[in-house]
Chain A
Amino acid sequence: MIHFDNICKRYPSGYDALNRINLRLHKGQMAFLTGHSGAGKSTLLKLIAMIERPTRGQIFLDGVNLNNISNRKIPYIRRNIGIIFQNHHLLYDRPVFDNVAMPLIIQGYRRQEIRKRVRAALNQVGLLSKEKSDPITLSGGEQQRVGIARAIIHKPLLLLADEPTGNLDPELSLEIMQLFARFNQVGTTVLIASHDLDLIKHTGFPSISLQDGQVAHNGLPFTVSNN
């Protein structure tokens, strides 16, 4: 699903965020990305979502070399990815329903289909009763779940999450992680950046640890390959 081939990322300031990263995450796998802040977790996710481009090396997403994707084609790559942010990135000028519906509206789905899918997605994250609420009136955990509903509504192949539990207490964090595990069970590939080692241990999923822009430890089971 994701294949990093000798990836280097140097920011214009001269800072080397990633240095010779080689990684393979297979279809249907779920893994954590750990490391101190500044280790390169966010940069790695940004490269997959094409928010940044690598300085050197190649990234393959579902077999597609991202270096060959022009800026104009980026939206179509992103439509296969669901992205979840620490600060939710919800739009507060519209109700929960409209926030969750955005990916489908962008992809030109019909109204009935959108209504059906938004309800289903909100049901999955346990917020069906809040579809008409304003996001600002929801708690932090609920807002994060709205963000997750928005990320999974278009059934992406890959789910990326950057510190999704950063602002939540342990109990809520575990709930969120269980939600991710459930999406993984139905075949979605999941990659979560987190520094919450206790939580990661608790869930039992493998983790990749980054240090100073390099892979310090790769806990992925290499032998597993359903590609």
Chain B
Amino acid sequence: MRNNPRKKSRLRSYFSHHLRTALASLGRLYAQPAATLMTAAVIAIALALPVGLYIALDNVAKLSSDWDGSTQISLFLHTHVKNSDAQKLMNQLQTHKQIKKIDFISKEQGLKQFRETSGFGDALKYLDSNPLPIVLVVHPKITGNKADATTLLVKELGKNKLVELAQLDVQWVKRLYTLLEIANRSIWVVSTMLAIAVLLIIGNTIRLDIQNRREEIEVSKLIGASDAFIRRPFLYTGLWYGVIGGLLATIVTLVSLALVENPIHKLALLYSSDFRLHGLGFVKTLLLILISCSLGLIGSWIAVSRHLKEIEPS
């Protein structure tokens, strides 16, 4: 009501007070490195777990989207069909509105491929004639309800007189997508539960902190500290836990990725794929730390709003 410092210097002093409070909170954490690191490590693990699952799922989804584009129908023609007839059929099918592209695999090409990839190359020498049929590989256009449309297309193509067998392997793609959907939801459930766990951990840590500083809180209230002033250091402590936990979680994730990256690349090479593990990326790493900070702030806010009221001078 009187003796108030002037407004401008008051604002400056407000910010410098915030800065000092933040640093003091950090200093308190630094003064107890073991306890701080343990709490932060628990937070980090709770965050790194869903992040790891997310990365795994994200990579599987990326991988399967490559396959999705390669959904194809193999038309095995009767063995007596000649190249010219097959060519005619191909030209005819190419005008089909549901077909994007057709690859022609002649008997000779098929034999060559078979020899190279099957490992039965030597056995083929003993055959008098080429037993392989001409194969037309049909790449359907992806439409809205692609699985059903493709199934109909397969049926239609199978009715052609020249075609002995029309084969589509779409079932496993469907199953994969369903599995991915389940995995996706499971990650959300796990993430939510672990986020609540982080809130509880931070809340409990702040609660203990409040109890330890009871005397200080009482005195501060007696000499006219506003609730916001008393709340502030605890909120900063929660925020710092979030920052440290988030950074640790990032490190844990990066180390884990580095550990599995090499073997996964080797495995991909064995499938003659140049697939490489995708990490979290810069933006999502930032998001992770942001989420961690928010959890820290919310957790401490819950603790502070519940427990500061209980401490009144008497």
Contact = CB atoms under 8 A, between A and B. Distances in A.
Report whether chain A binds chain B.
yes
A171 interface: no
Contact of A110 (B2, B9, B219): B9
Interface stretch (A23-31, A99-107, A189-197, A204-212): A99-107
B187 to A, nearest CB: 43
B219 A103 contact: no
Interface stretch (A14-22, A71-79, A216-224): A71-79
A202 B250 CA distance: 71
Nearest to A105: B17
B222 A91 contact: no
Given A102-B220, A110-B9, A155-B3, A75 B17 contact: no
Contact of B10 (A78, A102, A108): A108
A76 B1 contact: yes
Given A51-B314, A106-B229, A154-B3, A83 B223 contact: yes
A78 B222 contact: yes
B227 interface: yes
A76 B224 CA distance: 6
A109 B13 contact: yes
Interface string A76-120: 111111010000010101000000001101111111010000000
Contact of B222 (A49, A76, A105, A154): A49
A54 B220 CA distance: 23
B108 interface: no
A141 to B, nearest CB: 20
Given A91-B215, A105-B17, A108-B10, A79 B224 contact: yes
A75 B225 contact: yes
Interface string B191-227: 0000000000000000000000001101111111111
Nearest to B9: A110
B220 A106 contact: yes
A150 interface: yes
A83 B218 CA distance: 13
Contacts of B119: none
Interface residues of B, number: 28
B219 A102 contact: yes
B30 interface: no
A80 B222 contact: no
A75 B229 CA distance: 10
A35 to B, nearest CB: 20
Contacts of B314: 51
A187 to B, nearest CB: 12
B224 A107 contact: yes
A72 B227 contact: yes
A83 B14 CA distance: 25
Interface string B1-22: 1111100011011101100000
Contacts of A106: 220, 223-226, 229
A110 B313 contact: no
B226 A75 contact: yes
Contacts of A79: 1, 223-224
Contacts of A109: 5, 13
Given A76-B1, A79-B224, A89 B219 contact: yes
28 contacts: A51-B222, A51-B314, A75-B225, A78-B221, A78-B223, A80-B2, A83-B222, A91-B219, A93-B216, A102-B223, A103-B223, A105-B17, A106-B220, A106-B224, A107-B4, A107-B5, A107-B224, A108-B10, A108-B13, A108-B14, A108-B17, A109-B5, A109-B13, A110-B5, A110-B12, A110-B13, A154-B3, A155-B3
Interface of A: 49, 51, 72, 75-81, 83, 89, 91, 93, 102-103, 105-111, 113, 150, 154-155
Given A105-B17, A106-B226, A108-B10, 11 more contacts: A51-B313, A76-B1, A76-B224, A78-B224, A79-B223, A89-B218, A89-B222, A103-B224, A107-B5, A110-B5, A150-B223
